[in-house]
Amino acid sequence: MDGPILLYKQAFFKRGWSQLDKGNSRKFTALFPIASSEAVFLIEYKYMKYCLDTNILFTFQKGVGLGENPEQVIQKLIAVASKKTATFCLPQKIDEEVRAMLDKELEKLWLEFLSHVAVKTPKIYTHSISAGLLYEFVNDYRKRAYDGLKVAEDIVAQVAKNTKSTENRVEFEKSLQPHKESLRLRYRNATRTGTIDSVADLDLILLSVEEDAALVSADEGVVVWGRKFGAKEIDLAVFGQKIREALL
């Protein structure tokens, strides 16, 4: 089979391909004169499949262009899914996250979208993870734990430096508030930014690999670890463009 496959690939890239039917058949044909015989290949064109993260509904950057609120984003996704110009999947835990953030009216719209979507839990007990990947994950979290500790120590030092012994309890509590906010922000950045920090994140990556779907997420950590797992990915701006083009 190596010979015919090689000739097929060469002819494919040289001659290109032509569309047979612009309807729902999604079938394309290519005619390739190959050496001693005339060969006709019928190619099943697979529309892009996307694995969606929760944050897609709340990403309103101008460059993405999916809408200015969750309702507009969901409506566009429904329109594309209905036309079958793209397919979507997402893990159960992402569905749960989305529903927790939507009001009752938007949840009805979301359920309409789900009628076109494959919602499934990845086969977590059949996936194999290399020891190198596990080593990298543990080492990363060890460093993040240390960084988080240093942030906490720094904030405590600032509080001690700025606290006056004559302050009453009420004033003392008020003076602590900006330090608490700084601690939350810096600790979160030290321990969570650029990594996965939930089972939902891991489910999303594993399902993307399992379904051979492009990972769509605004979460830097999901994208970074998706690459480590070998998941396909698509830039958010490109995803937005693809969705808009699919609606034409």
Query: Which regions of the chain carry the CATH code 3.40.50.1010?
Result: 47-248
Domain 47-248 falls under CATH 3.40.50.1010: yes
Helix locations, 84-122, DSSP H: 92-101, 104-114
Q: What is residue 47's predicted lDDT score, i.e. its pLDDT?
A: 64
Rounded to a whole number, what is the distance in angstroms from the first to the last CA of the chain? 40
- Give which of 36, 44, 35 is closest to 17, Cα–Cα: 44
C-alpha span between 235 and 223 (Å, rounded): 10
Q: What is residue 148's predicted lDDT score, i.e. its pLDDT?
A: 79
Q: What is residue 167's predicted lDDT score, i.e. its pLDDT?
A: 60
Give 106's Cβ-side CA count (13 Å radius): 14
C-alpha span between 1 and 120 (Å, rounded): 35
- Rounded to 5 degrees, φ, ψ at 39 are -115, 135
Q: What is residue 12's predicted lDDT score, i.e. its pLDDT?
A: 37
**In a 3-state reduction of DSSP, which class is residue 42?**
strand
- CA distances (Å), origin 137, targets 93, 149, 194: 22, 19, 12
Amino acid residing at 130: S
Per-residue pLDDT 10s for the chain (248 aa) are 333 333 333 333 333 333 333 333 333 333 333 343 433 333 333 468 999 999 999 887 777 888 899 999 999 999 999 988 899 999 999 999 999 999 999 999 999 999 999 999 999 888 787 878 877 877 877 887 788 778 887 777 777 677 666 567 677 777 777 877 887 788 777 777 777 878 899 999 999 999 999 999 999 999 999 999 999 999 999 999 999 998 88
